[in-house]
Amino acid sequence: MSRKYGHYCALATALDVVGERWTLLVVRELLGGPLRFGQLKNELPGIPGSLLSARLQGLMAYGVVEQLDGHTYGLTPLGYGLTPALGELARWGLHFIEEQRPDDAFHPRWIQLALHSMFRPGNGESDGPAVYEFRVEGYIFHLIVEGKTLRSVDGPAGDPDLLVKTDAYTLVRIASGRLRPAEALDSGLVKIMGEREEFDRCVSLFMEAGDTPIPYVGPDGHRRRAAVTKET
């Protein structure tokens, strides 16, 4: 049995279930739909196979993940219930995304989660559903905005209102408030196919106009200790 906190507290209980290392990242992967063990392992660079196995067993025991036919694992409704929590955590994590893209592993699917976490339903009134196709480093998906709901679907859209082509690093710089969307467009870091007006509307769905939605906490801002500290 895994380590528990032994606090009669909703947060501590949640962490008893999904607080261990790698667990929430496993859930992150499955948010996009069921996956096989191998795919899961491929999209979680660094995880030992044995640990992934253990996590899946644990999550199944809690009813968060279920094993479907043919060695595929998917979230139960309970597991999908973690979506808002993961969204808020991801949104907060944008404060700390590194300025320079490090040699970290990356999968374009990550940014779908980030986009979801920044979605502000209510900004940008749209009558019918709006469809935006994204092409990020070879990966294609599209967002469907309908009223107050946002869905992201893998693959190209049939007839998108806008097509956006860019790279992950640029998206991160925009999301963390270090690059304004208009600048990204003018400098060619973001290329669009469609009306400029539609681009602005798309942007307004995720961030307030002229404002940095997620102020970035730089590497020096990380150190709040006033005086000199031992650097070992």
Partner DNA sequence: CTGCATCCGCCTCGATACTG
Partner DNA sequence: CAGTATCGAGGCGGATGCAG
Binding site for a second copy (CB under 8 A): 3, 5-17, 19, 21, 24-25, 28, 45-46, 60-63, 66, 76, 78, 81-82, 84-98, 101-102, 104-107, 110, 113-114, 117, 168, 172, 175, 217, 221-225
**Residues 6 or more apart from 155 whose CB is under 8 A from it?**
140, 141, 142
Report, in Å, the least distance between residue 46 CB and DNA: 5
- Contact status: 225 vs DNA (CB under 7 A): no
Report, in Å, the least distance between residue 207 CB and a second copy: 14
- Contact status: 46 vs DNA (CB under 7 A): yes
Q: How far apart are the first and last CA of the chain?
A: 37
In this complex, which beta carbon is closest to DNA, that of residue 50 or of residue 100? 50
> Of these partners, a second copy, DNA, none, which one is at the site of residue 56 (CB under 5 to 8 Å by kind)?
DNA
Report, in Å, the least distance between residue 229 CB and DNA: 10
Give the residue from 36, 6, 3, 204 showing the smallest Cα distance to 123.
204
- For 35-40, the CB contacts below 8 A with 24+ separation are 35/72, 35/73, 35/74, 36/70, 36/71, 36/72, 36/73, 37/71, 37/73, 40/73
Contact segment (CB under 7 A) with DNA among 51-59, 74-82, 93-101, 175-183 equals 51-59
- Count CB atoms within 10 A of the CB of residue 153: 14
Contact segment (CB under 7 A) with DNA among 26-34, 38-46, 151-159, 211-219 equals 38-46
In this complex, which beta carbon is closest to a second copy, that of residue 31 or of residue 145? 31
Sign (positive or negative) of CA dihedral 22, 143, 114, 124: negative
